[in-house]
Amino acid sequence: MTWCGVGPPGDPGPMSVVVRGESLLLVFGDGRWWAIEDRCSHASCAFTDDGEVDGLVAVCNCHGSEFDVRSGEPLMTPATEPIRTFPVRLTGGILEVEM
């Protein structure tokens, strides 16, 4: 795995980025950044297109599934499978995701 720079943190709101061809959603909460894949495990809807973030919960508006951005675990059905998460660090003012 390699740390990949995604840019300065900017606004603490959710950020959509593409790293090594993978669409990710970066979310700030609990004093740090979290990264999840930008796809619901139920119907593959992108959170950035058909979703929202409420605190540390990514909500897929296609069918109402919810996920904890810290663990990727589903919190609300119909999704039953977790989504992938990725470590994030801030180095020299640049956010980096480990992929």
What average pLDDT does the segment 24-50 reach? Answer: 95
Residue 78 — pLDDT band, cuts 50, 70, 90? very high
pTM of the model: 0.93
Distance CA 10, CA 94 (A): 10
What average pLDDT does the segment 69-85 reach? Answer: 98
> What is the pLDDT at residue 12?
83
Burial of 4 (0-12, 13-18, 19+ CB in 10 A): middle
What average pLDDT does the segment 67-87 reach? Answer: 98
Q: Is the per-residue pLDDT at 17 higher than 90?
A: yes
Number of domains in the chain: 1
> What is the pLDDT at residue 1?
87
> What is the pLDDT at residue 11?
83
Residue 40: CATH number of its domain: 2.102.10.10
The residue range of the domain holding 44 is: 3-98
What average pLDDT does the segment 69-78 reach? Answer: 97
- State what percent of residues in the chain have pLDDT above 90: 93
**Averaged confidence pLDDT in the chain:** 95
